Amino acid sequence: MADPFSTVQTELPRDRWGRPLITPPDGGDPVAYTRCTTFVGCLEDTYHLGQWQLRMAVLGMSRRKDLILAASAIDDPTDQYQKRKLNDIAKAAKDAAAGDAAANTGTAIHTLTERIDKGEGLGDYVPEEYLPDLKAYADITKGLAYAEIEGFCVNDALRVGGTYDRILIFTAEFLDNFERVNGFRLRWPGRNALGVLTPQGGEEIQPGEAAIGDVKTGHVDLGQGKIAMQEGVYANSVSYDHTLGTRSPLPGNPSKEWGVVVHLPAGTGSARLLWFDIAAGFEAASTLAKGVQGWRKRKDLTHVFASTSVTVQAGPTLVEQIKAATSYTALQGIYAMNSAKWTPGLTALATERRAEIEG
């Protein structure tokens, strides 16, 4: 008899769309939660990203004559199979213009920063041009500790699940070093009487206090809203253990007001730490994003008030038409009307029928 305890579920189960399957708080069968990036992404302005992708596709086509030839062979862009082929051509063109190079580089650097934070080595070989990036990351984060790295959490009220990059802890070493470099103690951001963000306007940060952290290797200016919402959802979530289906408070009790982004633009050898207003981000996620998601699920916005149906009797098939033809001219007419879907088998059948007619 097989050991019922021999199989251990090590990976978070997901449905066919990649959504995490989460055991409800009160038990029962797992249900699909929306991924956090998807949930907050409904409010993201993708115009500039779309324009960039178009530019890369155009540039890539100019470098790949074979893709131009492949595209010229498409005669019906509404056909599902030819649409798929066009999608493949567009992706290949974007890749040809190194459209995915920045994403691949960013992903690699992101992985290496995780190894730095875990105290692991960088491996046998890291391209020399990226060593300044990693050195800048190590310098800017020196002294920070981590309550958790790449932890999965859920917000049951929103039915959202996702993986945060870090829960970072401000240590005495980090805070003392900040004061030594900048000449003042690090404080949480605050707001003035008009509600305007004022860096260093809040309470002095004490050793042991924590914040949700994120590492970004690309542009952050155009994605501020999405980052703030995503970190806000994480900060207002609980840790989830999929092997037991249990929940627990986030380690370190990170701030629900402010999150941190380590901005490490790939290839620049520079890094900076940014505060993000995640309280505002969570408010947007729990109201605006939730409203948009709900609106998209509405299925009660249209009603039929009149209908009719007509049954059309199917005409004779091509085989039947060929067999019923009474002259070679009739056979030629059948071919002329159906040349686009003519097959060798129909040619053979028409030749046989012609012989019968003329014999």
Supply the DSSP string of 140-204, one letter for each residue. HTTT-EEEEEEEEEEETTTTEEEEEEEEEE--HHHHHHHHHHHSS--B--EE-TT--EETT-SPB
CA 132 – CA 271 distance, rounded (Å): 10
> Is residue 265 domain-shared with residue 326, that is, in the same domain?
no
pLDDT tens-digit series, residues 276-329: 999 999 999 999 988 988 888 888 899 889 999 888 777 888 899 999 999 999
> Is residue 286 domain-shared with residue 153, that is, in the same domain?
yes
> Is residue 155 domain-shared with residue 224, that is, in the same domain?
yes
pLDDT tens-digit series, residues 16-65: 999 999 999 999 999 999 999 999 988 877 777 788 788 888 888 888 88
The domain tally of the chain equals 2
CA 228 – CA 258 distance, rounded (Å): 9
What's at 93, amino acid-wise? A
> Is residue 131 domain-shared with residue 219, that is, in the same domain?
yes
> Is residue 125 domain-shared with residue 224, that is, in the same domain?
yes
> Is residue 133 domain-shared with residue 273, that is, in the same domain?
yes
The pTM for the full model equals 0.74
Q: Enumerate residue ranges in the chain where pLDDT < 50.
A: 1, 5
Residue 218 lies in a domain: yes
Q: Residue 353's domain spans which residues? A: 318-358
Residue 338 lies in a domain: yes
φ/ψ of 22, rounded to 5, equals -115, 130
Euclidean distance between the first and the last CA atom of the chain, given in angstroms as a whole number: 76
| Helix/strand/coil (H/E/C) assignment for every residue in 33-88 | CEEHHHHHHCCCCCHHHHHHHHHHHHHHHHHCHHHHHHHHCCCCCCCHHHHHHHHH
